[in-house]
Structure 1
Amino acid sequence: MKTLSITLFLCAFISLKMNAQEIANGKIPKRVYTTKKLKTTPIIDGSVADEAWDTVEWSSDFIERDPDEGTAPSYQTKFKVIYDAKYLYIAIRAFDENPELIQQRLSRRDGFAGDRVNVLIDSYHDKRTAFVFTTTAAGVKGEEIATGNGSNFDASWNPIWYTNAKVDEQGWTAEMKIPFSQLRFGKAKEQIWGFNIVRNIFRKNERSIWQRIPNNQAGFISEAGELHGLIDLVPQKQLEVQPFTVLQYDNYPKEAGNPYRDGSDFKVNGGLDAKIGITNDLTLDLTINPDFGQVEADPGAIALDGFQIFFEEQRPFFVENKNIFDYKFANGSDNLFYSRRIGRNPHRKANLSAGEFADEPQYSRILGAAKFSGKTQNGWSIGVLESVTANEYTEVREINEETREEIVEPLTNYFVARAQKDFNERNSFIGGILTATNRNLDGNFSELHKAAYTAGIDFQHNWHNRDYYVSGNTIMSHVLGSTEAIQKTQLSIARLFQRVDATHVEVDSTKTSLTGSGGRIEAGKNGGGNWRYNAGFVWRSPELELNDVGFLRQTDEIILFSEVKYLWQVPTKTYRNIEIKAQQESKFDFQGNNNQLEYKLEGTVSWINNWSSKLGFGHVPVNYENAYLRGGPRWRFADKDFMYLSFGSDKSKKMSFSAGYVVRKTEENVNNLEKYSIDLNYQPFDAFSMSLNTEFQKTIDKSQYVTTTDFDNQKRYVLGEIDNQTLSTTLRLNYNINPNFTIQFYGQPYISRGRYSNFNYVTNATASGFDTRVSMYNVSQISENNSTYFIDENADAIADYSFDKPDFSFVQLRTNLVARWEYIPGSELFFVWARGGSRFDDPRSSLSNGLRDQITNNKLEDTFLIKATYRFVI
C-alpha cells in the first residue's frame, strides 16, 4: 500500500505538469476605476443624492458570479469612489424592481445577513491580502481581513469606520466612510490598489461582481480590479487607546465550612488595550491585564481516547489578526502557535490535607501582551507577539485557620515571530516562524519544560494563472528541562516511547532535552477547467513536541494523501453546481508499520432551488493505533465502512434547516456508531433570529480501553463494551434594537453517558479476529463490590487485580445572555449574565433525566458582569 500511495502521488504530479503546459491562458482583463479628490464632504446617511458625489462618474456593468457565472445579474449595481486627506468615501446604488422584497435583516456586527454589498480593498496590492467592508440593506456593518488570496476571511477585525443604508423605490443605497488610518499602504505618488465590489441579493442567493472572476479561476484577491487616482496620500499613523472597567458578581452554592465558597464574590477589574501605528504598514497592539469575561463558554466534550481536545480561541486580543501568526504545518488542528496556552489553567493543584480548603485560580493571569504585525508595501508580512503570565498561587486555609500559599504555575514568557515574503509578481512566497516558551522554575516544577523552542519554514509557488501550485513547510522543535520533565514528555500519550512492541523508540531517563521534526509537502491543481487534484505527504517525528505554546495531538506518523475532484459549475434547470471528489490516505509510523488505509468518495450538490445535499462513503481496510493501549502493543481495529449524509433548505427563507446523519459499521460489529444532527434557523422578523442545533450520537464499542494493570509479571490491558450516548443542544437567540445595540442568548445543555459491560483483556493485539484479540472474563472471574470490579483470573478464589467501575454520566449546562451597545464607534458597553454548572450524574439515569436534574434540580452558578470600554483615537 505504501508503494501504491507513492505511485499515486507521482502520477498526480506528472499529470499536473503536463496539464500546465496544455491548458491555454485565458485571463480576464482588469477593470480600472479612477477616483478623484472630493470638493465637498458627503453626509453619511445612506442617501447617495448628496451633490458631493457629483465629483466622479458612476461605474456599473456588474456581472453575475453565482449561480450563473458570466451572465447578466437580475439587477444592476453601480458605485462611486471619492477621497480627501483622511477618508475614502464609497457610494453604492443597488437597483431592485421589488424593493419590498429586499431583505433588511438586522443582526449583530459581522452578522452578514440579508441583502448586502462587500467592498474589497487590497491596499497592499500584494494580490493575496485585502480589507473587506460590508454594509447590509439594514445598515449593519461588517469587516474582515481576507488572506491566502481569498481562502481565509477573519471577521475578528473591528476598525473604526462609518456607514449607512436606505431602501427607496429604485432598490437600496449605501454610503461608506473609511479612514485611511484603518488601512495599510505604502508610499507612492499615486496609490494603485486592488479593488472589487460584490453584491448579494439574499432572496435569490445571487452574487454579482464588478470585476469578473470566473468560478474556475484559482484565487480571488489576485483577480480584483484596480482603484487608481489616489494622489499624494499622507499615511495616517494610527493611535488608539481603549481602557476598560469590569464589575463582576458571582453567586454559587455555598459549601459548608469552606471559607472560599461562601456563596458569592464581588470583583472589580480594569485594564488597557492600545493600538499604535508604528508606520502606516505596521501596527503595535498592547494589552495590560486583559479581561475575557464576556467570552462564550467552550462546548461540552469528553475525550475517551485520552488525547487533548482542541477548542477555538475566543479571546478578542488573540483572535484579532490571528491569521498572521497561524502556522498549520500538517493536517487537522496541529499548529505551532495555539494562543490558548497563554493564560491556561495552572498545571498544578494544591496539596490539601483533610479539613483544608483552597482558593484555586482558574487561569494564569496575563500580566501583559504585545503584538507587532502588518504587511509592508514590498511584500513582507510580519508578526511578533510577546506575552508574560504571572506566578500563580493557591491560598490554602489550614485546620488551625492560618493560611499558606502554594505556587501552582510559574512565571512564563511566550514569544512568537512570524514572517513571509512575496515575490515572483506575488505568485510565490517563502516564510518562517519562531516560537519560544521560557519558564522561571526557580528550583520548582521539575515536571515542566524549562524552555521550549520551535522553528519552521514554509513556501508556496503558483503558476499558470495560479491554477497550479506546490507548497510545503518543515518544522523543528527543541524542549529542555529536568530528566523528570523530559521523561514525562517521552511517556505522554502523544509519544509513548515505552510501547512494548516499538523497536524504533525507547525511554531514555537521562535525557534533558528532546528534538523533533515535522512538515508537509503538497502539489496540485486548484483552478482552471473542471478538474482539481492534489497529492502530498505529512510527517511528525516521534520526538516532536509543540504543546508548550502550540497544539500537537500525536507524533510518530507519516501520511500519504491524494485527492481528485470534478466540478460541474454551469447551472442547469436542476442544479447550481455539483462537486464529486475521491480521496485516499495511508498512514505509517517511523517503524514502517502501515497503520491505516482509507478510501473516501463524496458528492455535493447545490440545487437550483437553493437547497443543498452531501453524500459520502468511506472504506478503511487497514486500521491500527499505536497509542490505544496507552503504552501497550499496537492495537488492531476492525475494518470499517462509513457513510454520511446531509441536506439543507434555502437559507434565504425566514425558516431554514439542515440535517445530517453519520453511520459507521465495523467487521464483527466491534465498534459501531450512529450520529444524528439537525439545525433549525428562524427569523420571524428582521430584528429577531433564532437557531437551534441538536446532536445525538450513540457508540457501541466492544473494545473501549478501561485500564492497564499487572497480573503474574504480565501487563493486563483491560477493555470493555461501552454503550456511549451523547446529547447536546445549542440554542441561540439574537434581538437587534438597531445595528449598534444587540441582545444575544446562548445556551447549551450537554450530557454524555457511558455504561460498560462484557469486560475482557488483550491477548493478541494485532490478531485478525476480535475474539482472538481479546479474552472475555467469565462470571466466575469478575465480581463487583462498592463500585469496584475484582478480577480472579486464575480462579483461586483470591482477587488478582481490580479496577474502578468506569461507568459515567457527565452533565453540563452553559448559558450566556449578553447585551452589547456600541454607543460610539469603537466604544462598547457589555451587560452579561452567565449561568451554568457541571457534575457527574448517576449513569443509571436516562439522558433526559440527567439533563432535567441539571437544569431544574441542581444548584447552578451565576455570574453578572458589566464591562465598559472607551476607545480614544488620537
Structure 2
Amino acid sequence: MRIRILFLFTIFSVLSFAQEKVQDSITRKKITAVKLEKAPKIDGNLDDDAWKNIPIAKDFIEFRPNNGKAEDADFKSEVKIAYDDTGIYVSAMLYDKEPSKISKELTERDNIGNDDFFVLFLNGYNDKQQSLELFVTAAGVQADSKITNENGEDFSWNGIWYSAAKIVENGWTVEMKIPFSELRFPKSEVQNWGLNFFRQINRTKTAYTWNYINNQKGGFLLYDGVLENIKNIDPPIRLSFMPYFSTYINNYDGQTTTNFNGGMDVKYGINDAFTFDMTLIPDFGQANFDNSILNLTPFEQQFTEQRSFFTEGTELFEKGNMFYSRRVGGYPSKSANVSADETLVEEPSKVKLFNAFKISGRTSKGLGIGFFNGITEKAEAIIKNNITGETRKEILEPWANYNVLVLDQRFNENSSVTFVNTNTMRSGSFRDANSTGLLWNIRNKKNTYQYYGNVKGSWVMDDGTKFGNKSQFGFGKVSGKHRFDVNANFTTKNWDINDLGFSTTTNIANYNAWYGYRILQPTKRFNNIYLNNNITYSHRLDPFLFSTFRFNHNNQFTDKNFRSFGGGVEFTPFGEKDIFEPRKFGRHLNVPGYFDSWIWYESDSRKKLQFNVNIDYYAYNEKGRNKVIPSAYIRYRFSDKFNAIWQFNPVFSNNEIGYAGNNGTDIFMGRRQRNTYENSLTSQYSFNEKMTLSLAFRHYFSDVTYHQFYTLNQDGNLANTNNFSNNLNGTYNSWNVDLRYTWWFAPGSQLTLLYRNAVSNYQDVSRLTFGKNFDTLFNEPMTNNISLRLTYFLDYNRAKNWFRKS
C-alpha cells in the first residue's frame, strides 16, 4: 500500500509540471569591445589613461538569495573591458559603503576562503556551453576554472594570467589581463564572445551578475551577455615551455638516497582554437598522498588523480567516464612468479611514464576534438635463485601505448553528441584493450527538458576477445521548482574498461526515478529549500534475479542566518540479493532490508569558528546488525592569514556479513565487527597572496574481527560450517604528514619545498588498544622525504623580446 501511494504521488507531481510557467526569453546585455593603444598597468589602480572612454558594464542583478532583484545602491558594480593584440583587459570598481568589513582571507591559489570575490566569465565560441571562470578575491588571490553546463566547474585547469586587487575608500578594485594564449576562439575577422561578471559580498552572502541569470532553469551559461566587435587582432604565437628541476632526499629503514630530476612541459597553440600539450621526462614525486583504506569490498579502490598534467585541460577526455588517467603509469599488469627456491629481490610498485601528449580544442562549428597519447616504460622484477645464486628478470609490464580520442559536437546552445574511443596496446603477449562510446545530451530550446544517454562497448584481447557493453537512457525536467528525472542503466557481465578506464559492477540493470522540489526565492525563514525523492530498482541480467528496491528521501534547508541543516531516510523493504559479494558468477548473498536515517548541521561559514556534524544510522532487519557513521568537521580562522581544519570520520559496523574465502567448491562468508577511525588535520598560513605554508595530516586505521563463518548456499542463505577456520582478523594503519611551502614567484612559476613522512602496516590481529596500535605502527620503517621542485613558465614571445633587447 505504501508503494502504491508513493507512485501515485510521483505521477501527480509529473502531471503538475504542465501547470508551471517558465520564463522562456533570455535577454542578453551587450557591450562593445574597445581596442587599446596603450595597455594599463595591472596594479589595482584604475586611474590609467587606458580606462578612459571605455564603456561601462553596470546595473547588476541579484543572483542570490533574491533572484532577479536590482543591485543594492550601496554595492554597485562597474566593470570595463578592453583588448589589444596580446589579450583581454578588465577593470572593476566594486563599491562598498563599509570597506573595513570587506572579507579578505588569504588562501592558496584556487581556494576561495572567507572572501569577497569577483569573477569574469569568457566564452570565445559564444555557444553558451563552456566558459573560463577567472576569480580574484579582495585579498588578491587568483582562482580559475573551466565551467560547462554538463559537468559544472573544473578547477584543475590553471591558466597564466595577471591580476591585482586593492581596497579603497569606497570599496575595492580589480584589474586583470588575460593573454590570448589562455583563451580559445575561432579564427574570424570580427568576433562576438559570451561574457558575464559575477560578484559576491561575503558578509551578506549576496551575489550579483551583470547579465541576469534566471534560477528557474539549470544552465548558468545560457545567460551570458555579449562582448561585441572584437576585431583586427593579431594574436602572438602561442608557445610556452615549463621546465622543472627537482631534487629528493629519501630516508627509509636507515638508508638514505638522493636523486635529481629535470624535464619539461611544452604547450603550443596549433591555431587559435587547438592546443598541443606534452610532458617530457615527467616527475610526479610531489603529488599529494592517496587516502588509502582497508578495502574489503569486491572492487578496487579508486584514487583521485593528483598529477597536474592529467588534471589540467582534460574536460574533453572526461566525457563518458571512460578514461581513468591513473591507469597510465599505474600498477603493473601482473605480479612476479616466484618459485619455492627463489627470492624476490626487486619488484616495481609503479610503472614509469615515459612521455605523454594531448591535443584539444574546438572548431568554429562547435566540434570539440581531443586526442591523448601516453607511453609507459617496461617494468621488470628481479628474482634470485637461492641454490645457484643466479638472478633473472621477469617482465611485469611491457612497453605500453595508451590512446584516447574524443569528438564532441555541440549544437542549439545547450545540446551535444559525443564519440569516445580509448585504446591500450602492450608489446608482446600481454593483453590489449579497446572501448568505444556514443553519448548524447539533448535539451529543448526552452531548456526545460533534457534527453540523454549513451551506448558503449568494450573489447579485451587476451587469449581471445571478450566483448561487453554498457548503456543508459534518461529523460528529465531541468527547470522550475518541480524537477524530475527517470533513467535506466544496463551493464553486461563482460563489460571491462579497466585497462584505461574504471569499471566495477557488471551484469546488472538499474532503473531510477527522481523528483525534486526547490524554492527559488527566499521565504520568511529560509533562503533555500531542497526536497528530493529517489526510487531505484535493480536486477541481475544473466540469469535474471531481483537485486533490490530502494527508496530515498533527503532534504536541505538554509536559514536566514546562513546555517544549513537537513537529513533523510532510505530503506530497502525487500532486502537485497547481492550478486557481487560472493565473488563468483551466478551466486548471490541475501542481505536483510535496512532502514537508514541521518541528520546533519552546518554552521555559518562566515564565522571564525565553523563546524559541521552528521550522524547516519543503519538498522538492519536482523538482530544485532547495524552501522553507525558519525562525522565532525571543525574549522577555525585565527586570522585572515592562518586557519586550521580538523575532521573526524569514524564508522562502526556491527555484525556485517562479508566474503571470507573459498575452497574451489564452497564459498565462505564471515560475520564480523569492523571499526574504522579517520582523523585528519589541515592548516595553512599565507604570508601573502603568492606564498603559503600548509600542513596536511591523516591517520587512518580500521580493524576487523570475525565471530563466525558460514557456507553460502545456492539460494543465498547461510549455513553454519566447521570447514573454515582461517584467521582473518586484522588491523590496517596508514599515517601521512605533508608539510609544504609554496611560492608562486611569477605567473605560472612555482617553487615548492616539501617534507613528507609516511608509514603504513597491516597486522593479523585486531582490537588492539589505542596505545598498542600506535606502538606497532611506529615500530615499522618510516619514509622520510624532503624534496625541492622549481618550475618556471617561459613564454616564447617574452623570451624573443629578451634576445632582441640583448
- TM-score tier by shorter-chain length is over 0.9
1:282-681 aligned at under 5 Å gives the runs: 282-328=274-320, 335-352=321-338, 356-396=343-383, 403-423=391-411, 425-441=412-428, 443=429, 445=430, 449=431, 451-482=432-463, 512-527=464-479, 529-590=480-541, 591-622=543-574, 623-631=576-584, 633-669=587-623, 671-681=625-635
Distance in 2 between residues matched to 1:77 and 1:828, nearest whole Å:
33
Instruction: Report deviation, 1:72.
Output: 3.4
Instruction: Report deviation, 1:776.
Output: 3.2
Distance in 2 between residues matched to 1:803 and 1:709, nearest whole Å:
12
Amino acid at match of 1:627: F
Give the match for residue 508 of structure 1.
none
Instruction: Report deviation, 1:64.
Output: 1.1
Instruction: Report deviation, 1:453.
Output: 0.9
The question of whether the paired residues in 1 share the 8 Å contact of 2:369 and 2:408 is answered with yes
Amino acid at match of 2:58: S
The question of whether the paired residues in 2 share the 8 Å contact of 1:9 and 1:562 is answered with no
Among 826, 831, 841, the alignment partner of 2:753 is 831
Residue 221 of structure 1 aligns to a residue in which SS? helix
Distance in 1 between residues matched to 2:700 and 2:526, nearest whole Å:
38
Instruction: Report deviation, 1:302.
Output: 2.0
Residue 286 of structure 2 aligns to a residue in which SS? coil
Using a 3 Å threshold, how does the CA distance of structure 1 residues 397 and 863 change in structure 2: closer, same or farther? farther
The question of whether the paired residues in 2 share the 8 Å contact of 1:13 and 1:524 is answered with no
Instruction: Report deviation, 1:652.
Output: 1.7
Give the match for residue 123 of structure 2.
122
The question of whether the paired residues in 2 share the 8 Å contact of 1:811 and 1:850 is answered with no
Give the match for residue 709 of structure 1.
663
Distance in 1 between residues matched to 2:615 and 2:590, nearest whole Å:
26
Distance in 1 between residues matched to 2:634 and 2:382, nearest whole Å:
47
Amino acid at match of 2:594: K
CA offsets, 1:739-758, max 9 Å, x none?
A: 22122211100000001113
Deviates more, 1:65-74 or 1:97-106: 65-74
Using a 3 Å threshold, how does the CA distance of structure 1 residues 764 and 184 change in structure 2: closer, same or farther? closer
Residue 57 of structure 1 aligns to a residue in which SS? coil
Distance in 2 between residues matched to 1:303 and 1:357, nearest whole Å:
25
Distance in 2 between residues matched to 1:809 and 1:852, nearest whole Å:
11
Instruction: Report deviation, 1:852.
Output: 2.9
1:168-187 aligned at under 5 Å gives the runs: 168-187=168-187
CA offsets, 1:838-872, max 9 Å, x none?
A: 00246344463355336655442111111111222
Distance in 2 between residues matched to 1:849 and 1:641, nearest whole Å:
36
Residue 726 of structure 1 aligns to a residue in which SS? strand
Among 711, 717, 731, the alignment partner of 1:761 is 711
The question of whether the paired residues in 2 share the 8 Å contact of 1:588 and 1:594 is answered with yes
Give the match for residue 801 of structure 2.
none
The question of whether the paired residues in 1 share the 8 Å contact of 2:684 and 2:692 is answered with yes
Residue 853 of structure 1 aligns to a residue in which SS? helix
The question of whether the paired residues in 2 share the 8 Å contact of 1:281 and 1:376 is answered with yes
The question of whether the paired residues in 2 share the 8 Å contact of 1:111 and 1:142 is answered with yes
Using a 3 Å threshold, how does the CA distance of structure 1 residues 24 and 607 change in structure 2: closer, same or farther? closer
Using a 3 Å threshold, how does the CA distance of structure 1 residues 468 and 8 change in structure 2: closer, same or farther? farther
Among 709, 733, 746, the alignment partner of 1:811 is 733
> In the alignment, is residue 278 of structure 1 matched against residue 266 of structure 2?
no
Instruction: Report deviation, 1:636.
Output: 1.1
1:143-162 aligned at under 5 Å gives the runs: 143-148=144-149, 151-162=151-162
Distance in 2 between residues matched to 1:357 and 1:594, nearest whole Å:
46
Give the match for residue 498 of structure 1.
none
Residue 519 of structure 1 aligns to a residue in which SS? strand
Give the match for residue 31 of structure 2.
33
Distance in 2 between residues matched to 1:585 and 1:847, nearest whole Å:
41
Give the match for residue 676 of structure 2.
726
Instruction: Report deviation, 1:183.
Output: 0.4
Amino acid at match of 2:271: T
The question of whether the paired residues in 2 share the 8 Å contact of 1:671 and 1:703 is answered with no
Distance in 2 between residues matched to 1:751 and 1:545, nearest whole Å:
31
The question of whether the paired residues in 2 share the 8 Å contact of 1:564 and 1:583 is answered with yes
The question of whether the paired residues in 2 share the 8 Å contact of 1:812 and 1:854 is answered with no
Instruction: Report deviation, 1:395.
Output: 3.3
Give the match for residue 785 of structure 2.
863
Distance in 1 between residues matched to 2:688 and 2:715, nearest whole Å:
62
Give the match for residue 799 of structure 2.
none
Amino acid at match of 1:304: L
**TM-score, length-normalised on structure 1?**
0.86
Distance in 2 between residues matched to 1:479 and 1:125, nearest whole Å:
41
Instruction: Report deviation, 1:695.
Output: 0.3
The question of whether the paired residues in 1 share the 8 Å contact of 2:705 and 2:767 is answered with no
How many residues are matched?
A: 787
Using a 3 Å threshold, how does the CA distance of structure 1 residues 338 and 807 change in structure 2: closer, same or farther? same
The question of whether the paired residues in 2 share the 8 Å contact of 1:751 and 1:850 is answered with no
CA offsets, 1:518-556, max 9 Å, x none?
A: 1111111111x3101010101101121111101100110
Using a 3 Å threshold, how does the CA distance of structure 1 residues 224 and 8 change in structure 2: closer, same or farther? farther
CA offsets, 1:238-290, max 9 Å, x none?
A: 11111212211110114xxxxxxxx1222222222111100110001101221
Distance in 2 between residues matched to 1:10 and 1:517, nearest whole Å:
31
Question: Over the residues paired in the alignment, what is the CA RMSD in angstroms?
Answer: 2.4
Instruction: Report deviation, 1:824.
Output: 1.6
Using a 3 Å threshold, how does the CA distance of structure 1 residues 371 and 401 change in structure 2: closer, same or farther? same
Q: Which runs of 5+ in 1 are unaligned?
A: 255-262, 329-334, 483-511, 767-772, 778-790, 792-800
Report the identity percentage.
Answer: 27
Distance in 1 between residues matched to 2:218 and 2:366, nearest whole Å:
20
Residue 131 of structure 1 aligns to a residue in which SS? strand
Residue 103 of structure 2 aligns to a residue in which SS? coil
Deviates more, 1:393-402 or 1:587-596: 393-402
Give the match for residue 770 of structure 1.
none
Distance in 1 between residues matched to 2:772 and 2:651, nearest whole Å:
16
Give the match for residue 492 of structure 1.
none
Residue 817 of structure 1 aligns to a residue in which SS? strand
Instruction: Report deviation, 1:814.
Output: 1.1
The question of whether the paired residues in 2 share the 8 Å contact of 1:357 and 1:398 is answered with no
Using a 3 Å threshold, how does the CA distance of structure 1 residues 395 and 830 change in structure 2: closer, same or farther? farther
Distance in 2 between residues matched to 1:32 and 1:345, nearest whole Å:
53
Q: Which runs of 5+ in 2 are unaligned?
A: 797-806
CA offsets, 1:387-423, max 9 Å, x none?
A: 1111112234565765443222111111100011112
Distance in 2 between residues matched to 1:563 and 1:154, nearest whole Å:
26
Amino acid at match of 2:403: F
Instruction: Report deviation, 1:371.
Output: 0.3
The question of whether the paired residues in 1 share the 8 Å contact of 2:106 and 2:139 is answered with yes
CA offsets, 1:489-534, max 9 Å, x none?
A: xxxxxxxxxxxxxxxxxxxxxxx1111111111111111x310101
Distance in 2 between residues matched to 1:296 and 1:185, nearest whole Å:
34
Distance in 2 between residues matched to 1:12 and 1:287, nearest whole Å:
56
